[in-house]
Amino acid sequence: MSILIDKNTRVIVQGITGKAGSFHAAQMRAYGTQVVGGVTPGRVGSQWEGLPIFDGVAEAVAETGATATCIFVPAASADAILEAVDAGLPLIVVITEGIPIQDMLRVKTWLKRGPTPKGQTLEGLTPPVIVGPNGPGVITPGQAKIGIMPGYIHKPGPVGVISRSGTLTYEAVWQLTKLGLGQSTCVGIGGDPLPGTGFVEVLRAFENDPETKAVVLIGEIGGTAEEDAAAFIKKQMSKPVVAFVAGATAPPEKRMGHAGAVIAQGQGTHASKVQALKAAGVSVAENPAVIGRTLARMLEKLQVQV
């Protein structure tokens, strides 16, 4: 089992004719993901590698039976997310980097107000589940990937991975794979200040997923997502969690690449996050090179069979 996606997930790609969209749509397909079509306004009737291209998401869903979308459109088009919401897609993965925070604020406010979604929930999460923006996407190793992560570094197994960073997730996953610790699902929630889905929701889904035995959480400076995650773990998680928080050496008031990675007005420091996670019983790796080993040791100590 896994969370959010598996081999039956049918995916459309918004922005499939763009450079990134077309390269990664091909990579997703090569990994085994069921890519069933694409959306590029104005290009209806044409094809991408034998797949139909549609003008809009609603039409694409009606024709292909898609259950998820992967968005590669430019940052000025937060509307693409709402289009996918309107079309009733339960899973919306947003790769786009650079969406203005106020645009995302309107998207999130609209979501809170929209009609109650019909259909089943995704491991306890209420659809539509928006993953990202500004993240690598979601992968269930051996089954499907929706996003831009290199497939070969993953391996099916019992570890759930959740992260605010793309390449740092690859780093952690690669360490796990080399130690023989496979992953149930890896979710990149993205580096923006207002992510579509936060740590807490994904942690809840991992807690509900019987195949996930342990979780690796990768955070970074800025905001209070790690503190919120710690509060949830303390109260509601029974599964072991290992964490790493990037940015111990980051200076205050400087934006460290990600729009959300900034220590502002004394909030969002590395120390505060590590302290909160430790207090919640999370095993925090101080060194990014030993995230995998920290998990292996913890599993051994707890005698968790993987």
Partner 1 sequence: MRFLEHQAKKLLSSWGIPIPRSGLLTRPSQLSSAVRKAGGYPVVLKVQVYAGGRGKAGGIVKVADLSKARAAAKELLGKRLVTAQTGPEGVPVKSLLAEQGLTILKEFYVSVLIDRSRQVPIVVAAREGGIAIEELAKEHPEEILTTPFDPFLGLLSHQSRRIVTWLRIQAEHREAAAKQLLKLAKGFFLTDASLVEVNPWALTKEQGMLALDAKVTVDDNALFRYPELERIKTADADTPSEAKSRQIGISYVGLSGSIGCMVNGAGLAMATMDLIKLNGGEPANFLDVGGGADVNQVREAFKLIVADRKVKAILVNIFGGIMKCDVIAQGILSAAKSMKIKVPLVVRLEGTNVEIGRKMLEDSKLGFITASDMDEAAKKVVKAACR
Q: Which residue numbers are catalytic?
A: 258
Is residue 18 close enough to count as binding partner 1 by CB under 8 A?
no
Using the rule CB under 8 A, give the single segment among 45-53, 121-129, 138-146, 223-231 that binds partner 1: 223-231
Locus of tokens 């980051």:
250
Interaction of residue 7 with partner 1, rule CB under 8 A: no
Supply the minimum distance, in Å, between the C-beta of residue 102 and partner 1.
Answer: 5
**Given 7, 65, 79, 98, the residue binding partner 1 (CB under 8 A):** 98
Q: Tell me which residue of 163, 12, 157, 149 sits closest to 87, measured CA to CA.
A: 12
Helices (H) and strands (E) in the chain, counts: 9, 14
If phi > 0 it is left, if psi is from -120 to 50 it is alpha, else beta; for residue 32 that is: left
Least Å from the CB of residue 104 to partner 1: 9
- Measured from the CB atom, the residue of 102 and 236 that comes closer to partner 1 is 102
Name residues whose C-beta falls within 8 Å of residue 144's C-beta, 6 or more positions apart in sequence.
5, 6, 7, 9, 11, 28, 31, 32, 33, 34
From candidates 26, 51, 58, 290, binder to partner 1 by CB under 8 A: 290
For residue 304, the minimal CB distance to partner 1 (Å) is 25
Under the criterion CB under 8 A, does residue 125 sit at the interface with partner 1?
no
Q: Note whether 75 binds partner 1 by CB under 8 A.
A: yes
- Count CB neighbours of 73 within 10 A: 23
CB neighbour burial string for 253-282, b if at least 16 within 10 angstroms, e if fewer:
eeebebbbbbbeeeebbbebbbebbeebeb
Q: Are 29 and 51 in contact (CB under 8 A)?
A: no
- Which stretch in 38-46, 56-64, 84-92, 169-177 sits in contact with partner 1 by CB under 8 A? 169-177
Q: Of residues 83, 123, 171, 209, which one binds partner 1 by CB under 8 A? A: 171
The residues in 21-50 that bind partner 1, with binding defined as CB under 8 A, are 24
Which residue blocks in 149-244 are alpha helix, DSSP H? 167-178, 199-208, 225-236
278 is an interface residue for partner 1 by CB under 8 A = no
* Residue 120 CB, nearest approach to partner 1 (Å): 25
CA distances in angstroms from 109 to 74, 105, 194, listed in the order given: 21, 6, 11
Separation of CA 70 from chain center: 11
| Rg for the chain, CA atoms, rounded | 19
54-73 residues near partner 1, rule: CB under 8 A: none
Instruction: Find the part of the chain contacting partner 1 (CB under 8 A) among 34-42, 85-93, 115-123, 254-262.
Output: 254-262
By the rule CB under 8 A, 145 interacts with partner 1? no
Q: Does the footprint of partner 1 cover residue 220 (CB under 8 A)? A: yes
**Distance spanning both ends of the chain, measured CA to CA:** 14
Using rule CB under 8 A, residue 248 touches partner 1? yes
What does the binding site for partner 1 look like in residue numbers (CB under 8 A)?
A: 20, 24, 75-76, 95, 97-103, 105-106, 108-109, 136, 148-150, 153, 163-171, 174, 191, 193-194, 218, 220-221, 223-225, 228, 244, 246-251, 253-261, 264-267, 286-290
